Amino acid sequence: MGLSRFGGLVKGLGVARRRPFATSTSSSSSTAAGGGTIVRGTGSKSLNLYSAINQALHIALETDPRSYVFGEDVSFGGVFRCTTGLADRFGNQRVFNTPLCEQGIVGFGIGLAAMGNRAVAEIQFADYIFPAFDQIVNEAAKFRYRSGNQFNCGGLTIRAPYGAVGHGGHYHSQSPEAFFCHAPGLKVVIPRSPLQAKGLLLSCIRDPNPVVFFEPKWLYRLSVEEVPEHDYMLPLSEAEVIREGTDITLVGWGAQLSIMEQACKEAEKDGISCELIDLRTLLPWDKDTVEASVRKTGRLLISHEAPVTAGFGAEISASIVERCFLRLEAPVARVCGLDTPFPLIFEPFYMPTKNKILDAIKSTVNF
C-alpha cells in the first residue's frame, strides 16, 4: 500500500475548510492555557492510563465533528489498545488506518489541520517518529510563522508512546522529547498518570498550536487512579508541585515521576525534605514554578530517561543557573539515562533508578 492511499482517504473525509499520583477531583472550574476550561466533577472511575487516553479520544471525536484519529493499526485499537472502539463508534471515515509511513502520517495530518480540522495522528512508537522529523520540525512547527499567521496547522496533535518498557531494547524504548524541544512553534507534553493524561490530551487536541504528546508506555496498564468521566482539560505550560519540601527541588516528567517519588520518600527517612515538580509541558516549559522552588530550597536535581548529554535536563539546568545563581547551595544534579544506545539486557544499568536518585539527593544536600 503506497502513499496514494492518503489521497483516497481525503476524498471521503468531508473535511471542513477553514504509578499513579493522587490528584484532586473535587468540583471546580477554571481557565486552561489556550482559553480552555478545566472542569471538575464528582463522577469518576478507576482507569489505567491507556483507558484514560481512550476516553479522551472518545470525547474529542464526540464533541468536535472536525476531529479525526488515524495511524498504523488504530482502527482495531492499536498495539496498546488506546484507540479501541473508536472506529466502531465514529466510523472509518473519522478513525482509520494509514500506510506504514510516519512521514506520510504527519504530512497528511498537517494538511488536514491546515483545512480547519482536528487531526490526531498516532505514531506507533516514539522510536519511529524520526522519519516524520522533517514534517514535524520543518513544516508543522513553521507553518504559521512562514505565512505571517495567514495559515496554520494548530489543529494537529501527534501521539506517540515513549520510554522504557522493561524489554523493548534499542528501537522500542527511546525518549526523544529533547529533539522536538529545539523546534519553536511546537508544544511538547508528557503526562505522568491517567488523570493527567486525559486532561492534558484534551487540552492538546484543542490547543491552537501543533503538539507532540508523548505517552509513557510503561504506565499504560501499571498506572491506575480515579479519573473524572466527563470532559475536562488541564493547563499546558503549567508545572505542578506534587510534593512540597524545603531542602532540594526535584524536576521530572512522565514515568520518571513515580521513581523520583520513591526516592523522595527514602530521603525523608534521613531527614531530607524534597520538593517534587512535574513539568508536564516541556515546550514551552514553566520556568517560574521551578525558579520559585529553587529559590526556596537552594538545590536542584533533574531526572529523565533520555541520555544525559543534551537531554532536556541540560536546558532546565542552564536556565535555573542563570536565574538562581546566587541562591544555589550546590551544583545542579542530573540523574539520567546513559550516553549509549538504549540497551536490552543492560537496561537496569542504563535507567535512572531510585537508588541513583537517592545518592544524588544526598550528595547535593551534603555538598
Residue 34 has a pLDDT of 39
Q: Which of 102, 122, 177, 240 is catalytic?
A: 102
pLDDT, tens only, 98-156: 999 999 999 999 999 999 999 999 999 999 999 999 999 999 999 999 999 999 999 99
Q: Which of 72, 172, 275, 291 is catalytic?
A: 172
Q: Rounded mean pLDDT of 173-178?
A: 98
Strands 240-243 and 211-216: unpaired
Q: Does the pLDDT value for residue 8 go beyond 60? A: no
pLDDT bracket for residue 27 (50, 70, 90): very low
Closest C-alpha among 171, 155, 87 to residue 123: 171
Q: Rounded mean pLDDT of 175-180?
A: 98
pLDDT bracket for residue 28 (50, 70, 90): very low
Whole-number Cα distances in Å, 135 to 59, 200, 209, 232, 300: 27, 23, 15, 30, 35
Residue 144 has a pLDDT of 97
Q: Rounded mean pLDDT of 244-260?
A: 98
Tell me whether residue 315 is one of the annotated catalytic residues: no
Residue 14 has a pLDDT of 40
SS3 of the chain: helix, strand, coil, percent, to 5: 40, 20, 40
Mean pLDDT of the chain: 91
> Do 232 and 40 touch, CB atoms closer than 8 A?
yes
Ordered domains of the chain (ranges, CATH): 44-228 (3.40.50.970), 240-366 (3.40.50.920)
Distance CA 76, CA 45 (A): 24
Q: Does the pLDDT value for residue 237 go beyond 60? A: yes
Q: Does the pLDDT value for residue 30 go beyond 70? A: no
pLDDT, tens only, 36-66: 445 545 699 999 999 999 999 999 999 999 9
Tell me whether residue 172 is one of the annotated catalytic residues: yes
Output DSSP code: residue 170: T
H helices of the chain, in order, are: 4-11, 49-63, 86-90, 102-114, 133-134, 143-146, 177-180, 194-206, 219-222, 256-269, 287-297, 312-324, 347-350, 354-365
314: Cβ contacts below 8 Å, ≥ 6 apart: 308, 334
Residue 41 has a pLDDT of 52
Residue with cell 513553521: 142
